Structure 1
Amino acid sequence: MGVLLRSTDVFQGHRASVYALCKAGEGAFLSAGGDGVVVRWELNRPEEGRAVAMVGEPVYSMALDAHRQALLIGCGSGRLLVIDLGSGVEAQVEHVHQKGIFRIVPLRNGLLACAGGDGVLSVWQWAGEGMARLVQQRSIALCAEKLRDITLLNEGRLAVACGDGMVRILDTGSFNGMVEADGHPGGAYGVCMHPTKPVLLTGGKDGVLKAWREDGSPLHAVPAHKGSVYVVSVDPHGRFLYTAGRDALVKVWDLATLDPVARSQRDRSGHTHSVNAAIWCGEQLITASDDRRIRSWSMPSMR
């Protein structure tokens, strides 16, 4: 993996680890973490972050509902907050999880799912128009460990990366379990769907990147990071897979072969501590870290 990623900008201002990122319209994104502050950033103005919410506790996850102008926030205590972005007011607070909410993912038909640190998957439905309220539909105990990631699959199915090492696939109609893949010793932390093939891609505490058929049978395994893999996701063009983890590195892989393409360095040109989250914002990869910094990355080899 000889090609090095180049960090184009650094977004600084958080006073603790940054755990969560989400897109916030064209050329903008939100960040949050251990300091409990949600900050809006413009890609072309990295020095001008603007606080849009003060949560008062660590934030582990976020999701933006652009239609309702609602920001959903998963907190370290297990609280689920709904912020009206028009007014900045806390419109709803639900405390359904006993531990932190690690992922919030919109599903179909106004549903959304939350991955809880208590091993519970909670399912919610928007009720009403405008700034509607969330109504809990289901609470499904999947394991005794943390649920770390969720991704929506084809044909109304959902894959959940679980702290007991399993990757579980559920039907989103009944939320019954369909498939279990014994994914990663010590815990499965990241999961995504291949954009054109019936293949799951996962990472976990073992530092291995794995590919699976949707029936749970293994296809491929690649040693990826020296430590836990927290992020597994595909770029918007469906050409490359990116991973990030506890070793402070961001790595890029050829999606067709899972061959390594590029990587960051663990020095001043990259992150120096665990990389916890990553998103694509336009053509820029955005990453967030325990080093309290957010970085954007240029990937000339992808053009």
Structure 2
Amino acid sequence: MIDLTLSQNLQGHQNPIFALSAGLDSSTFYSAGNDKGVVEWDLSEGKFRRILCAVPASVYALHLLQEQQILVLGLRSGEVWVVDINEQRLVAKLLTGKGAIFSVQSIHEKNELVAIGEEGVAYVWSLDKFELLYNFRVAETAVRCMALYSGGNHIVFGDKNGVIHLYDVSDFKEVTKSKVHSMPVTTLVVDDIYLYSGGRDAKLHQLNLFDLTSKETISAHMFTVYAAIPHRNLPILATISRDKSIKLWDTPSLALRKNISRERGSEDGHRLSINTAIWIGDRLVTAGDDKIIKVWDLSGNL
């Protein structure tokens, strides 16, 4: 048996939370959403640390550049902000065409930053001077998620029509695409063996990496799967959903190991949609529409 035990409830946000990011060390993380600021939390003491920066619009994506000690923000306004964590300084304000930015990734092998969102166009900047290098259209509709393959040679995008697009990072040319979901793709994540995709259709797909063919498909939740997050060292995949539940799955078998929700009798569970989650070591951090960040400790026979 494995278990998730609630260890902290962190409160302070006044509106729904959409994004979480690990911090520069294991005792720090960041949260943002429909409030007017990005919050830094002290995980070791379970308390608010500071407002990292004020923002003019909702934040839908957070991405940490560990080596540069920078946090990148994807905003509803279509801007991408680059913030120096130590100096609490806005390093760059990167502009896109129109529409919200939903996902940000960095390709360290090429020293590039990629952002994509509502207009379906990917924007690529240099990581040294944050100059726009190029942009390319992935889809004629919104793209809510992307994931970088191990080694940094390929990247996948998931669009509103349920299509997954695989690109070669060397020239950003499309390798293949496949309609996987009947509704929008809402999360993509890669481990050493498979690509996992979750969607508004409540399905979780386990896909072969390079031809996007399906290895396994399960009805993971009752509603939208907002995130699938593999544990860094253990064969465990956590998923969270609009249905207010947290589930742990074995990988690669996708056998269900744990289900936490108020409907299943867990009074510690979230009361509203869970929008985002991250692993920090053996702790799972979850947050969503109830404005509460919950920190769960993983234990048991793994």
Cross-structure match for 2:243:
247
Spell out the pairing of 1:18-37 with structure 2 (5 A cutoff).
Answer: 18-24=17-23, 25-37=25-37
Q: Could you list the per-position Cα deviations for residues 46-91 of structure 1 after superposition, in whole angstroms to 9, with x for gaps in the alignment?
A: 2334211111211111112222222211101111111122321222
Q: Which amino acid aligns with 2:174?
A: G
Report the TM-score, using the length of structure 2 for normalisation.
0.93
Cross-structure match for 1:147:
143
Q: Which amino acid aligns with 1:297?
A: W
Q: Which amino acid aligns with 2:120?
A: G
Q: Could you list the per-position Cα deviations for residues 20-62 of structure 1 after superposition, in whole angstroms to 9, with x for gaps in the alignment?
A: 1111122211111100311111212223342111112111111
Aligned CA distance change for structure 1 residues 176 and 251 (closer, same or farther; 3 Å): same
Cross-structure match for 2:197:
202
Cross-structure match for 2:288:
289
Spell out the pairing of 1:233-272 with structure 2 (5 A cutoff).
Answer: 233-266=229-262, 268-272=267-271
Cross-structure match for 1:184:
181
Spell out the pairing of 1:1-303 with structure 2 (5 A cutoff).
Answer: 5-24=4-23, 25-107=25-107, 108-127=109-128, 133-154=129-150, 156-195=153-192, 197=193, 199-214=194-209, 215-266=211-262, 268-301=267-300, 303=302
Partners of 1:302 and 1:47 in 2: CA distance? 30
Task: Kindly report the root-mean-square deviation, in angstroms, between the aligned alpha carbons of the 2 structures.
Answer: 1.7
Contact 1:124 1:138 in 2 (8 A): yes
Contact 1:163 1:188 in 2 (8 A): yes
Deviation at 1:268, TM superposition (A): 4.1
Q: Could you list the per-position Cα deviations for residues 141-195 of structure 1 after superposition, in whole angstroms to 9, with x for gaps in the alignment?
A: 1123221111111450001121110111100011010021211111111111122
Contact 1:3 1:263 in 2 (8 A): no
Higher alpha-carbon deviation: 113-122 or 254-263? 113-122
What is the SS of the residue equivalent to 1:272? coil
What is the SS of the residue equivalent to 2:300? helix
Partners of 1:100 and 1:136 in 2: CA distance? 18
Partners of 1:248 and 1:97 in 2: CA distance? 34
Higher alpha-carbon deviation: 27-36 or 154-163? 154-163
What is the SS of the residue equivalent to 1:45? coil
Partners of 1:96 and 1:225 in 2: CA distance? 34
**Structure 2 unaligned runs (5+)?**
none
Partners of 1:240 and 1:110 in 2: CA distance? 30
Partners of 1:293 and 1:245 in 2: CA distance? 15
Contact 2:123 2:135 in 1 (8 A): yes
Cross-structure match for 1:130:
none
Partners of 1:44 and 1:261 in 2: CA distance? 27
**Structure 1 unaligned runs (5+)?**
128-132
Contact 2:145 2:157 in 1 (8 A): yes
Contact 1:4 1:265 in 2 (8 A): no
Q: Could you list the per-position Cα deviations for residues 197-225 of structure 1 after superposition, in whole angstroms to 9, with x for gaps in the alignment?
A: 2x211110110111111212111111111
Contact 1:273 1:289 in 2 (8 A): yes
Aligned CA distance change for structure 1 residues 118 and 103 (closer, same or farther; 3 Å): same
Partners of 1:151 and 1:28 in 2: CA distance? 23
